[in-house]
């Protein structure tokens, strides 16, 4: 058997120059005449982006991290000797020990990789690789069943939509199957627009045939003859690999007419999005495929009844479709045994933000946040404390330390004021300001709103204005009530999912981090030290050694001082970039909250003592209560 | 002058939903969509200019003004945001002397912000054309831009 050298070609590793590693390996192997002995492959994503570029050696399973082209010569030495290249093995940060294989790395130990099973192990541009890994096998099974039986099986498995809402997939299919129409369509929603979410892209880049197999199953179940993959144009690698996969599937007879002798005809086309977050909403997506502005329309009628070109259409997310081969492979009962009462199977999360192990993780439903963040994610870097985690992107909510032991499923997250969304999981430490973060999310959703319905267009704009006022130090206490009542009105009255979920980050932050909001409006203080209008940099005279470093590095010349006398920062000129604080070797520069900025100046002069006290309270445990 | 548009119109005018891919392909050839191009497409497709302009202005991908030789995309996704993407963006604006969404008058640089480049492990991250630069600090920005300025000067 030829040994395999697998180089990760996911976007994360490509950004860390994995292509150079691949090219260097290729020429080094060829140069030593080893091209025949080793099979070099460029694979999809392993998920452990933090440690990229990754190289895996099979069958031994040696898992090499942060490989650069400079390592290649020695790496090939080790391949020839059949030895391990110790220096490239993953080093457990807790024990300091190096571990040899992927499964020994803590990042992988609590994961359950079903959907991502092939990612990183097969060449996504080769249908042979997918077939060897058992691909397209479930179609034989599916085509022997009646469409109704296929739908029943999906219902029994308890599969729910992975794109956000969590609607039961089998039920959606049943509606479309029963609906009348001379043609029916399957649409794969790959318009993954949530900032900080890249699971759909990784599946398409790493295992595109799995999604095609899922679409074929769905098409057979509802009686569709044609499918579309609506994919972001910002994912060029995924588009290219999908395109190759479709062509290969046609050649092998998995797409086209009379597939596998079943009499079932089905073909798939790619539709590239043109950059609009709202097109992740199914009715907007359909409008976009029809060549219009991607604006949602009221439902009902639901797309399952009246969708693309007014015909019954099922819109399923990439990850949902990628689950289908697993269900028909292991059987509905075995699948339903994974997860919780109401949420079955696994969920892929993109773990990012202030976390040691950034990457893509697949875990069984019902796992706790603590397990994901601390056991898999390795916890918070730089000795900082966990503060919050944003689940579900800009439409989701921020949860606090009190939720760390919450078993995650669709319903528990909704109850806590967040949502599964597409599965973005952004971790925040104590340096993140929850008010500013809510402002950030809202500025995103407002920018992406299509402008069709008033509650979202006007309401979210007003919501954003209030938040901007607060972070600029012009907020008032009644603003907090206004945020809440306006937020709920927007949720109740908006036309589509974008508007209905846009206030979530604000409302959840108000619920779990209210003291922080109150600090901003009452005391004009930003405890996290983020909101610039509420901060100022100051030099402590006693500590300043007049070395001139800060003065030299200030980009706007706001620092003055001579040799031998303490320097000063001119608050009018200071842009608050923080360079001086980073450069000062004596710790003489401090960031102080709330002195003399904004229109609330007179107010907080009066409140100076209480503000200091409030800051102290908050720093010494105020946040711990949450 | 507007090379290729007639051929592309021929390819798409009868396809339902063909307007978006048509605009995508025309932009690929011409770099941006001028008013004249939009008018030509409207008459070629037999639809109103308002409809074409409506679609062209709805999607981020379409540009109605000329673009720079180097397209700088600063990722403003959540992961980049919490790791200081805004500072990088401000530094870019200062260095280039333009606001985000604009192009330098010499058509060398266009500065864009994007929602997520999907390379969250490298946050904060930017791309300049096809090159990715990760874990950037504002302090690194001037040197990086200088490199491209020099490259542009050599080619001209």
pLDDT at position A470: 96
Same domain? For A352 and A241 the reply is no
Task: Indicate if the alpha-carbon torsion angle A469, A471, A474, A480 is positive or negative.
Answer: positive
Asked if the structure places residue A206 within a domain, the reply is yes
**Which distant-in-sequence residues (6+ apart) come within 8 Å of A143 by Cβ?**
A220, A259, A260, A262, A264
Asked if the structure places residue A402 within a domain, the reply is yes
Q: Token digits for B127?
A: 């791309």
For residue A383, the distance in angstroms to the closest alpha carbon of chain B comes to 16
Residue A581, number of CB atoms within 10 A of its CB: 17
Q: What is the mean pLDDT of residues A449-465?
A: 95
pLDDT at position A623: 33
A interface mutation test: which of B121, B128, B133 has the most A CBs within 10 A? B121
Same domain? For A303 and A234 the reply is yes
User: What one-character-per-residue DSSP string does A264-275 give?
Assistant: --BEEEEEE--S
* DSSP state letter for B47: S
**Which distant-in-sequence residues (6+ apart) come within 8 Å of B63 by Cβ?**
B27, B31, B32, B33
Nearest CB to B61 within list A275, A352, A450:
A275
What mean pLDDT value characterizes chain A? 90
Determine, for residues A309 and B132 on separate chains, whether the beta-carbon distance falls below 8 Å.
no
Quote the CA–CA distance of A279 and B66 in Å, as a whole number.
Answer: 26
Asked if the structure places residue A439 within a domain, the reply is no
Which residues in chain A have Cβ-Cβ distances shorter than 8 Å to B62?
274
- Is the Cβ of A201 closer than 8 Å to some Cβ of chain B? yes
Same domain? For A488 and A549 the reply is no
Chain position carrying tokens 């059987």 = A331
Which residues in chain A have Cβ-Cβ distances shorter than 8 Å to B59?
273-276, 294
Determine, for residues A195 and B122 on separate chains, whether the beta-carbon distance falls below 8 Å.
no
Task: Indicate if the alpha-carbon torsion angle A456, A459, A465, A466 is positive or negative.
Answer: negative
Q: What is the mean pLDDT of residues B87-103?
A: 94
Nearest CB to A444 within list B94, B115, B132:
B115
Nearest CB to A195 within list B83, B87, B116:
B116
Determine, for residues B16 and A291 on separate chains, whether the beta-carbon distance falls below 8 Å.
yes
- Exposure pattern of A464-474 as b/e (b: 16+ CB <10 Å)? bebbebbbbbb
- Exposure pattern of B89-124 as b/e (b: 16+ CB <10 Å)? bbbbbbbbebebebbeeeebbbbbbbbbbbbbbbbb
Same domain? For A22 and A72 the reply is yes
For residue B139, the distance in angstroms to the closest alpha carbon of chain A comes to 9
pLDDT at position A537: 85
Determine, for residues A577 and B118 on separate chains, whether the beta-carbon distance falls below 8 Å.
no
Determine, for residues B61 and A393 on separate chains, whether the beta-carbon distance falls below 8 Å.
no
Same domain? For A365 and A496 the reply is no
Find, in chain B, the residue whose alpha carbon is nearest to that of A286: B17
- Start-to-end Cα distance in chain A: 56
For residue B40, the distance in angstroms to the closest alpha carbon of chain A comes to 17
- Is the Cβ of A450 closer than 8 Å to some Cβ of chain B? yes
B interface mutation test: which of A284, A291, A426, A498 has the most B CBs within 10 A? A291
pLDDT at position A10: 85
Work out how many domains chain A is built from and give that number. Answer: 5
Determine, for residues B24 and A277 on separate chains, whether the beta-carbon distance falls below 8 Å.
no
Asked if the structure places residue A240 within a domain, the reply is yes
Structural domain spans, chain B? 5-58, 70-155
**Which distant-in-sequence residues (6+ apart) come within 8 Å of A404 by Cβ?**
A368, A369, A370, A373, A386
Same domain? For A326 and A425 the reply is no
Comparing A100-109, A222-231, A246-255, the range with the smallest average pLDDT is A100-109
Q: What is the mean pLDDT of residues A267-290?
A: 94
Confidence of residue B64 (pLDDT cuts 50, 70, 90): very high
Q: Does A529 have pLDDT greater than 90?
A: no
Helices A169-178 and A208-222: crossing angle in degrees, nearest 10, is: 40
Same domain? For A513 and A556 the reply is no
Nearest CB to A276 within list B21, B24, B60:
B60
Find, in chain A, the residue whose alpha carbon is nearest to that of B114: A195
Q: Does B105 have pLDDT greater than 90?
A: yes
Determine, for residues B23 and A274 on separate chains, whether the beta-carbon distance falls below 8 Å.
yes
Of A492, A522, A552, which closes a domain? A522
Q: Does A373 have pLDDT greater than 80?
A: yes
My answer on whether omega of the bond before B71 falls inside 30° of 0, hence cis, is no
Find, in chain A, the residue whose alpha carbon is nearest to that of B51: A292
Same domain? For A322 and A356 the reply is no
**Considering chain A, what percentage of its residues have pLDDT values greater than 90?**
70
Q: Does A129 have pLDDT greater than 50?
A: yes
The chain B residues in contact with chain A (CB within 8 A) are 16-21, 23-24, 54-55, 58-62, 76-79, 81-83, 87, 94, 114-123, 125, 132, 134, 138-139
pLDDT 10s digits, A48-78: 988 889 999 988 999 999 999 999 999 999 9
Nearest CB to A440 within list B81, B119, B123:
B81
By CB atoms closer than 10 A (0-12, 13-18, 19+), residue A162 is buried
Which residues in chain B have Cβ-Cβ distances shorter than 8 Å to A350?
120
By CB atoms closer than 10 A (0-12, 13-18, 19+), residue A240 is middle
Q: Specify whether the CB–CB gap between A349 and A361 falls below 8 A.
A: yes
pLDDT at position B99: 94
For residue B103, the distance in angstroms to the closest alpha carbon of chain A comes to 19
Determine, for residues B122 and A16 on separate chains, whether the beta-carbon distance falls below 8 Å.
yes
Confidence of residue A467 (pLDDT cuts 50, 70, 90): very high
Asked if the structure places residue A435 within a domain, the reply is no
- Start-to-end Cα distance in chain B: 24
Which residues in chain B have Cβ-Cβ distances shorter than 8 Å to A277?
115
Quote the CA–CA distance of A594 and A571 in Å, as a whole number.
Answer: 12
Q: What is the mean pLDDT of residues A451-468?
A: 96
Which residues in chain B have Cβ-Cβ distances shorter than 8 Å to A353?
78-79, 82-83, 120
* DSSP state letter for A384: P
Determine, for residues B82 and A577 on separate chains, whether the beta-carbon distance falls below 8 Å.
no
Instruction: Report the DSSP pairing between strands A359-364 and A346-353.
Output: antiparallel
Chain position carrying tokens 């011409």 = B30
Confidence of residue A602 (pLDDT cuts 50, 70, 90): very low
| Contacting A residues, span 228-247, partner chain B, CB-CB under 8 Å | 233-235
Q: Which helix (H) or strand (E) holds A186?
A: strand A185-190
Taking phi over 0 as left and psi of -120 to 50 as alpha, with beta for the rest, A258 belongs to left
Residue A389, number of CB atoms within 10 A of its CB: 26
Residue A84, φ and ψ in degrees, nearest 5: -100, 140
Same domain? For A66 and A195 the reply is no
**Which distant-in-sequence residues (6+ apart) come within 8 Å of B112 by Cβ?**
B71, B72, B73, B74, B100, B101
Of A522, A551, A569, which closes a domain? A522
My answer on whether omega of the bond before B124 falls inside 30° of 0, hence cis, is yes
pLDDT at position B1: 54
Q: Which helix (H) or strand (E) holds A169?
A: helix A169-178
Asked if the structure places residue A175 within a domain, the reply is yes
Nearest CB to B122 within list A15, A390, A432:
A15
- Is the Cβ of A54 closer than 8 Å to some Cβ of chain B? no
Determine, for residues A288 and B139 on separate chains, whether the beta-carbon distance falls below 8 Å.
no
- Exposure pattern of A518-530 as b/e (b: 16+ CB <10 Å)? bbbbbbbbbbbbb
Q: Specify whether the CB–CB gap between A576 and A595 falls below 8 A.
A: no
User: What one-character-per-residue DSSP string does A64-127 give?
Assistant: E-S--GGGHHHHHHHHHHT---GGGBEE-TTT--EE-BGGGSHHHHT---STTTTTTTS-TT-H
Q: What is the CATH number of the domain that holds A68?
A: 3.40.30.10
Q: What is the CATH number of the domain that holds A422?
A: 3.10.20.600
Which residues in chain A have Cβ-Cβ distances shorter than 8 Å to B117?
11, 15, 234
> At the fourth CATH level, which superfamily is domain B70-155?
Glutaredoxin (3.40.30.10)
Asked if the structure places residue A568 within a domain, the reply is yes
- Is the Cβ of A288 closer than 8 Å to some Cβ of chain B? yes
Q: What is the dihedral of CA A399, A405, A410, A414, to 10 degrees?
A: -40
Q: Specify whether the CB–CB gap between A391 and A347 falls below 8 A.
A: no
Q: Token digits for A166?
A: 């969590």
Q: Does A22 have pLDDT greater than 60?
A: yes
* Residue range of the domain that includes A384: 346-429
Find, in chain A, the residue whose alpha carbon is nearest to that of B131: A15
Q: Token digits for A512?
A: 């779990």
Quote the CA–CA distance of A16 and A13 in Å, as a whole number.
Answer: 5
Residue A504, φ and ψ in degrees, nearest 5: -50, -50
pLDDT at position A599: 32
pLDDT at position A330: 96
Which residues in chain A have Cβ-Cβ distances shorter than 8 Å to B139?
579
Which residues in chain B have Cβ-Cβ distances shorter than 8 Å to A272?
21, 24
- Is the Cβ of A446 closer than 8 Å to some Cβ of chain B? no
Same domain? For A239 and A310 the reply is yes
Same domain? For A186 and A318 the reply is yes
Confidence of residue A163 (pLDDT cuts 50, 70, 90): confident
Which residues in chain A have Cβ-Cβ distances shorter than 8 Å to B23?
274
Find, in chain B, the residue whose alpha carbon is nearest to that of A12: B119
Q: Does A272 have pLDDT greater than 60?
A: yes
Same domain? For A187 and A250 the reply is yes
| Contacting A residues, span 345-404, partner chain B, CB-CB under 8 Å | 350, 352-354, 358-359, 390, 393-394
Q: Does A80 have pLDDT greater than 80?
A: yes
ipTM greater than cut 0.85: yes
Chain position carrying tokens 């190289």 = A55
Asked if the structure places residue A550 within a domain, the reply is yes
From the centroid of its chain, how far is CA A146? 37
Q: Token digits for B108?
A: 């060398």
Which residues in chain B have Cβ-Cβ distances shorter than 8 Å to A196?
77-79, 116, 120
Of A302, A336, A370, which closes a domain? A336
């Amino acid at each position: 058997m030829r040994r395999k050298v697998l180089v990760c070609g996911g976007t994360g590793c490509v950004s860390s120059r994995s292509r150079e590693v691949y090219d260097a390996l290729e020429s080094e192997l060829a140069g030593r005449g080893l091209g025949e002995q080793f099979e070099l492959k460029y694979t999809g994503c392993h998920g452990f982006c933090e440690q990229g570029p990754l190289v895996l050696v099979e069958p031994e399973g040696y898992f090499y991290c942060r490989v650069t082209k400079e390592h290649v010569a020695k790496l090939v030495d080790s391949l020839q000797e059949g030895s391990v290249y110790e220096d490239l093995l993953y080093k457990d940060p807790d024990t300091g020990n190096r571990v040899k294989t992927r499964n020994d790395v803590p990042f992988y130990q609590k994961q359950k990789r079903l959907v991502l099973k092939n990612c990183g192990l097969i060449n996504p541009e080769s249908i042979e690789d997918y077939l060897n890994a058992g691909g397209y096998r479930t179609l034989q099974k599916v085509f022997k069943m009646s469409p109704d039986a296929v739908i029943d099986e999906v219902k029994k498995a308890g599969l729910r939509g992975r794109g956000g809402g969590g609607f039961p997939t089998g039920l959606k299919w049943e509606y479309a199957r029963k609906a009348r129409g001379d043609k029916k369509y399957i649409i794969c929603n790959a318009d993954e627009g949530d900032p900080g979410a890249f699971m759909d892209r990784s599946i398409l880049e790493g295992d595109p045939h799995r999604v095609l197999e899922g679409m074929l199953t769905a098409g057979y179940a509802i009686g569709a003859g044609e499918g579309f993959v609506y994919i972001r144009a910002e994912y060029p690698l995924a588009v290219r690999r999908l395109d190759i996969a479709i062509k290969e599937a046609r050649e092998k007879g998995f797409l086209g007419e009379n597939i596998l002798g079943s009499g079932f005809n089905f073909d798939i086309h790619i539709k590239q999005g043109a950059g609009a977050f709202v097109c992740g909403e199914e009715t907007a997506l359909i409008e976009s495929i029809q060549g219009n502005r991607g604006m949602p329309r009221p439902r009902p009628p639901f797309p399952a009844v009246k969708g693309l070109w007014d015909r019954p259409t099922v819109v399923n997310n990439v990850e949902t479709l990628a689950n289908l081969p697993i269900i028909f492979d292991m059987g509905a009962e075995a699948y339903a045994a994974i997860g919780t009462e109401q949420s079955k199977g696994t969920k892929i999360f993109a773990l990012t933000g202030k976390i040691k192990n950034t990457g893509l993780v697949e875990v069984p439903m019902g796992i706790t946040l603590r397990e994901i963040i601390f056991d898999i994610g390795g916890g918070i870097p730089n000795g900082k404390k966990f503060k919050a985690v944003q689940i579900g992107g800009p439409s989701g909510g921020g949860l606090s330390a009190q939720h760390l032991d919450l078993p995650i499923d669709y319903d528990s997250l909704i109850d806590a004021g967040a949502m599964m969304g597409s599965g973005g999981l952004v971790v925040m430490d104590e340096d993140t300001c929850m008010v500013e973060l809510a402002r950030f999310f809202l500025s995103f959703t407002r920018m992406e709103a299509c402008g069709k319905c008033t509650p979202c267009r006007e309401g979210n704009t007003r919501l954003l204005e209030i938040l901007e006022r607060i972070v600029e130090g012009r907020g008032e206490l009644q603003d907090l009530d206004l945020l809440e009542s306006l937020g709920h009105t927007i949720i109740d009255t908006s036309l589509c999912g974008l508007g209905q979920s846009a206030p979530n980050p604000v409302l959840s932050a108000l619920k779990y981090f209210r003291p922080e909001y109150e600090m901003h409006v009452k005391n004009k203080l930003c405890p996290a030290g983020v909101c610039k209008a509420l901060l100022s940099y100051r030099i402590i005279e006693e500590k300043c050694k007049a070395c001139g470093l800060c003065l030299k590095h200030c980009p706007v010349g706001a620092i003055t001082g001579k040799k031998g006398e303490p320097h000063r920062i001119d608050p009018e000129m200071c842009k608050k970039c923080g360079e001086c604080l980073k450069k000062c070797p004596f710790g003489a520069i401090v960031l102080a909250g709330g002195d003399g900025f904004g229109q609330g100046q007179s107010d907080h002069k009066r409140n100076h003592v209480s503000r200091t006290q409030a800051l102290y309270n908050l720093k010494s445990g105020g946040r711990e209560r949450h | 002058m507007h090379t290729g548009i007639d051929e592309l119109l021929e390819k798409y005018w009868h396809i339902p939903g063909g307007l978006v891919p048509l605009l995508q392909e025309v932009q690929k050839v011409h770099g941006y969509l001028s008013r004249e191009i939009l008018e030509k497409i409207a008459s070629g497709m037999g639809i109103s200019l308002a409809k074409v302009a409506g679609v062209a202005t709805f999607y981020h991908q379409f540009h109605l003004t000329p673009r720079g030789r180097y397209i700088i995309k600063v990722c403003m996704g959540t992961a980049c945001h919490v790791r200081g993407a805004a500072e990088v963006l401000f530094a870019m604006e200062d260095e280039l002397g333009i606001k985000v969404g604009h192009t330098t008058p010499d058509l060398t640089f266009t500065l864009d912000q994007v929602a997520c480049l999907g390379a969250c492990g490298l946050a904060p991250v930017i791309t300049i054309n096809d090159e990715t630069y990760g874990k950037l600090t504002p302090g690194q920005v001037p040197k990086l831009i200088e490199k491209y300025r020099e490259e542009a000067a050599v080619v001209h």
